[in-house]
A and B are shown apart, each in its own frame.
Chain A
Amino acid sequence: MTSTLLYTILSLSLLGGLLAVVLYLIAQKFKVQEDPRIDQVLEALPGANCGGCGYAGCRAFAESYVNNPEMTDFFCPVGGNDVMKNVAMVLGREVKEQVPRLAVLRCNGSCDVRPRLNVYDGSMSCAVAADLYGGETGCSYGCLGLGDCVTACTFDAIHMNPQTCLPEISEDTCTSCGACVKACPRNILELRPKGPKNRRIYIACASKDKGAVTRKVCTVGCIGCQKCVKECPFEAISFADNLAYIDPSKCRLCRKCTAVCPTGCILEINFPPKKSSD
């Protein structure tokens, strides 16, 4: 009895030891040389694997960052400047600071201001609807409201607001990874700087229709009157295809444009309310 136990333990230990030696030798022979800094960079990254940096995931970013010292435009939008500082510290490199951004919806056509002309009954996807026809409202540029951006967002930062039928983007959770921008078939989501104190001004319309056509289908669309273009003292507003656009790098947030816009399609976010004497 005792001897059986003894033989079993002995033979298995021997076998284990032998296999360990074989495995060690094989591991030595086929060792993969990898830059240890890749793991260090990976450690410093947020690990969201969102693809917002343009690489397939955080590891792909880390590999490319370590292997291409001459390239400078690496940036992790999720981590922002703090994370990029840490990442750069690992390799002792410089990093170009970027202004924090977030996604904004260039459409303000809620259900009340943009009447529905038909009822969509197909697959609940913006991409399918956009491929099929012009949309439930008369505006063929505005939000379709079927929530492809909500599905695309991996940070739970976009939700449909049932009152307005438009998606709402949370300032705190949006990481500006750009997944929603790619998912939107109408191309109306845009990554814009968050702005000082989170204050920003943008034109919430993407309609390239002529003013009269836009007005007919939506009361808050850009009608291309160009009042804002003339009003802007910093030449920040450009105009093309019946649509004005505010260049965030030139805009100084003076709010003169919002005052003159006849349809109110220029949105000012997080500003204190204007005094009534204005």
Chain B
Amino acid sequence: MSKTFSIGGIHPNDRKFSRDHPIEEFPIPKRVFLSMNQHLGMPAVPVVQKGDMVKVGQLIAEPAGFVSAPIHASVSGTVSDVALYPDFLGKKVLTVVIDTSGDDWLESIDRSSEIKHEITDTPQEIFKKISEAGIVGLGGAAFPTHVKLTPLEGMKAEYLILNGAECEPYLTSDYRLMIEHGQEILIGGELMRRVLGDVRGIIGIEENKPRAIELMRKHAAHFLQWEVVPLKKRYPQGGEKQLIDAVLGRKVPSFSLPVSTGAVVQNVGTAYAVYEAVQKNKPLISNVLTVTSSDPSIQRNYHFRTGTPVREFLNAAGAPEQDGTLRFAKVVNGGPMMGKAVANLDGAVMKSTSGLLLLTEKETKRQEPGECIRCSKCFQACPMRLQPYLLYQLALAGRTEALEEHRVFDCIECGCCLYSCPAHLPLLDQIRLARNVSLKNKRKK
């Protein structure tokens, strides 16, 4: 009997069209835009200036605090600008622009494809390498990985869960990574396991990926402390709190960190990045993303350099017509549930970008909102047991205190309420706003 989380959730059609397309190397772009804000926490501080020559893997920005991450050049060439540029959402972010020339890597980086099994570093050295390589959570939230691996007082990690759920429809980048680089993922997981101390390793994979389960089981057999747990297909299983509930049956209380339940969750992509950073000395300058749509000719998985403009992927995929206009109405950065619409096609993909989803107007157009009939579908779907219809009303009325009383901070923005609402109310839009406003107020205090 496969496991799953206990509260709420929905069953969207998984539409993993690109699952059988092997990861292709995406051509190096002529110019990359490296945002200083590719992670949660303080934005990084650039250490290069206009006109500097950089090599692939060279440090271009230092972390601005503990909850922050360094950023490395993803191409070699000349720094042509360090200024505010609009990111893919159209918001202005400090960005380092590099004009590519050649592909000149730092000598310390091991570029061979040979898998290095032997672990020679001590846990302290591994931790140092992870934080210096700028590794962030590649499941989407981009939380700096070294922060999660730092022990907190009074909390002892017992389990390290590698997140291979990939519950977002359409996305297949984690799946391809598990199929093609399963061994590396396990070595990366083992490295993080050693940093955490003697904990048990678990890989959670949804049942709609039987090949990945089978392969990862085969690889895990070589390690003592690792096992693969198949999970039922259900969204949002890949959410950190939901995954802990699904695998261990433990619930993360409000306002506390997941590690308080004894579990640390890392994405399989993050484990691969950790493997590359520790065993190959390669900082996080590339990742795998899915470019997909309902058109069979645009369903790919690419290994890309961070900072590649979104437009390059669309051109490569053949999304524009002959006259240059896009035949899709919306490009989503991420999956259809939690991804954000790309407002600026010249904006760049980031470290944690896991997919670009192209949707036609018919697929994406929102329907006119109606009236709430108190059907409670949103309440049943909410994996955090919130009352979205109530939070929506409170948010419209601007009742901050009542919102906090009803745990608006627990919202994980999974979008289950919006998906299940028969009246097409913009539930998440308003709840997210209320949550962000309250968070800002809280920080001011």
Q: Which residues of A contact B (CB under 8 A)?
A: 117-119, 121-123, 125, 127-128, 131-136, 138, 140, 209
Contact = CB atoms under 8 A, between A and B. Distances in A.
B109 interface: no
A138 B90 contact: yes
B444 to A, nearest CB: 16
Nearest to B436: A131
B208 interface: no
A123 B365 contact: no
SS class, residues of chain A in contact with chain B:
loop
Interface string B420-445: 00000010011011001100000000
A125 B426 CA distance: 10
Contact of A140 (B86, B329, B341, B433): B86
B91 A134 contact: yes
Given A117-B343, A118-B343, A121-B366, A134 B430 contact: no
B11 interface: no
A128 B92 CA distance: 18
Nearest to B86: A134
Contact of A132 (B89, B92, B364, B437): B89
A119 B361 CA distance: 11
B344 A132 contact: no
Interface centre among A119, A134, A135, A138, by most chain B C-beta atoms within 10 angstroms, is A134
A134 B433 contact: no
Given A118-B90, A131-B436, 15 more contacts: A121-B364, A121-B366, A122-B366, A122-B426, A125-B430, A128-B433, A131-B437, A132-B89, A132-B340, A132-B429, A133-B343, A135-B90, A138-B86, A138-B344, A140-B86
B429 A133 contact: no
Contacts of A127: 433, 437
Nearest to B432: A131
B341 A133 contact: yes
Nearest to B87: A134
Given A117-B343, A117-B344, A121-B366, A133 B89 contact: yes
Interface string B82-106: 0000100111100000000000000
29 contacts: A117-B90, A121-B330, A121-B364, A121-B366, A122-B366, A123-B429, A125-B429, A125-B430, A125-B433, A128-B429, A128-B432, A128-B433, A131-B432, A131-B436, A132-B89, A132-B340, A133-B90, A133-B343, A134-B86, A134-B90, A134-B92, A134-B343, A134-B344, A136-B343, A138-B86, A138-B90, A140-B91, A140-B92, A209-B92
Contact of B433 (A118, A131, A136, A209): A131
Interface in B331-362: 340-341, 343-344
Contacts, number: 61
SS class, residues of chain B in contact with chain A:
mixed
Interface centre among B91, B343, B365, B366, by most chain A C-beta atoms within 10 angstroms, is B343
A177 B132 CA distance: 53
Closest 8 A-B residue pairs measured CB to CB? A134-B90, A123-B426, A123-B429, A133-B89, A133-B343, A134-B91, A128-B429, A118-B343
Contacts of A140: 86, 90-92
Nearest to A217: B86
A266 to B, nearest CB: 25
Contacts of B90: 117-118, 133-135, 138, 140
B430 A133 contact: no
Given A133-B91, A134-B89, A140-B91, A121 B365 contact: yes
A121 to B, nearest CB: 5
Interface centre among A122, A132, A135, A140, by most chain B C-beta atoms within 10 angstroms, is A132
A117 B346 CA distance: 11
B93 to A, nearest CB: 10
A125 B398 CA distance: 13
A67 to B, nearest CB: 27
B430 A128 contact: yes
Contacts of B426: 122-123, 128
Nearest to B88: A133
A117 B430 CA distance: 24
Nearest to B428: A123
